[in-house]
Amino acid sequence: MNLNDYFDPVSLDRPANGHLAEKMIFCRNIAIHTPDTPIVSISSFKIALVGLPETDESNMPASVLSADRIRTSLYQLFRVHPKSRIIDLGNLKPGNKRQDAFYAIRDVSGELFENGIIVICLGGSQDLTFGSYLTFEAGKIPFNFVTIDSRLDMGLIGDEIKPESFLIPILSRKKELLFSYTNLGHQKYFIDQQDLDFLDRHYYQSVRLGDIKSDITEVEPYLRDADLISIDMNAVKQSDAPGAVNPSPNGFFSDEICQISRYAGLGNNCKSIGIYNIAPLSDIRDQTAHLAAQMVWYFIDGVSQRIREIPVSESKDYLKFIVNMNQLGQDIVFYKSLLTERWWFEVPVMTSHGRKPSCRIISCSHEDYNRACNQEIPDRWWKAYKKNN
């Protein structure tokens, strides 16, 4: 596969930054696909930046500028840890139809996945997440899916894939591949109760903005297990992201969305993350693009500090806690890492033909353990249990 056929090279003015030494600037510490530097080999890289321009069907005027606006800000930040090994592939060439973009993202991401490279998608409307999903479907890769969004872009079954209706196809097509779906940060006045009921029936969930703001660390376990993450900049409040496509006075603060991005990077599973729905023409002093660039920086910083942990009973690196749940008639087994203080629990998986049940290890929080100690079944555990059995 020749990636040069899929991408337009990066063509930006030289970053103007007087307070950093040349060798410390982000763009001087990554490989960049430019008109004079084609893509030759990607095998040595760990992270790839992919700009997503829009087609005329997207109804997002000038969004073709989004990726480059983000780059302009990102390139002027400090470098991240050298072991990150980043390549900017440029902007994906737009096709004649919307479906062309989906399949181009699928093909490119598939090539990157095969080389163990994490994909960071920049710009475009959020329905382009469907292209990233197709990568998992084509490779028959089981995955956990997380969106950060003030709304649930459900639409109706049978709707064509659009920014406001891309979720149903992902949640409904290959259910055997999708283990869990969680939306983080919905605002109740933007959500129809029927959509929440749909999620509940399928053992998926959406966490309210207010619940997250009371303790943002509670989102970390969801992001730790996520393989595919899609961030809608409309989830950030308008004062912090004036250039979102549908801004709202309420939402995440800039520091909160950066914390979420870092949690996403720290998680060992994430293979693809996208930042969508930026409207450059309404972005006051490029504030939203600046924020998106910092989100990318924090994600990469998290990736550079990943610690792979797999809790097992016999390891001295973990504490094991067994909580007897009277109403369940069984125990819930928790693990705590002595290195990072992260938590997990076991979820039984029933098997057929009389074979001994197995278990699935799922990330959780200390608060989940406290709930279990108070004889409250953690919602995260219950949904995973029902999904498995």
- Residue 160 makes CB contacts below 8 A (sequence gap 6+) with none
CA 219 – CA 242 distance, rounded (Å): 25
CA 109 – CA 114 distance, rounded (Å): 9
Chain segment 140-184, per-residue pLDDT in tens: 999 999 999 999 998 765 556 777 789 999 998 888 999 999 999
What residues pair up with 309 in beta bridges, in sequence order?
none
Q: Flag whether the pTM goes above 0.85.
A: yes
Q: Give the lowest-confidence range in 161-165, 305-309, 367-371.
A: 161-165
Q: Where are the domains of the chain?
A: 3-304, 318-388
pLDDT score at 143: 97
Angle separating helix axes 287-304 and 254-266, nearest 10 degrees: 30
Q: What is the mean pLDDT of residues 225-235?
A: 98
Bigger pLDDT: 208 vs 389 = 208
Chain segment 69-96, per-residue pLDDT in tens: 999 999 999 999 877 899 999 999 987 7
pLDDT score at 366: 96
Bigger pLDDT: 105 vs 65 = 105
CA 158 – CA 188 distance, rounded (Å): 25
Bigger pLDDT: 188 vs 63 = 188
| pLDDT above 70 coverage of the chain, percent | 92
Q: Give the lowest-confidence range in 50-59, 123-132, 319-328.
A: 50-59
Split at pLDDT 50, 70, 90, the class of 114 is: very high
The residue behind tokens 């619940």 is 211
CA 106 – CA 111 distance, rounded (Å): 9
Chain segment 189-203, per-residue pLDDT in tens: 999 999 999 999 999
Residue 375, token pair as written in the block: 């004889």
Question: What is the average pLDDT value for the chain, to the nearest integer?
Answer: 91
Query: Could you tell me the fold of the domain covering 3-304?
Result: Arginase; Chain A (3.40.800)
pLDDT score at 247: 93
pLDDT score at 22: 73
Q: Give the lowest-confidence range in 19-28, 116-125, 287-296.
A: 19-28
Q: At residue 117, does pLDDT exceed 70?
A: yes
- Asked if 10 and 90 touch (Cβ cutoff 8 Å), the reply is yes
Start-end of H helices in 16-97? 66-74
pLDDT score at 156: 62
Q: At residue 215, does pLDDT exceed 90?
A: yes
Chain segment 6-21, per-residue pLDDT in tens: 999 998 876 655 566 6
| pLDDT above 90 coverage of the chain, percent | 77
Q: At residue 59, does pLDDT exceed 70?
A: no
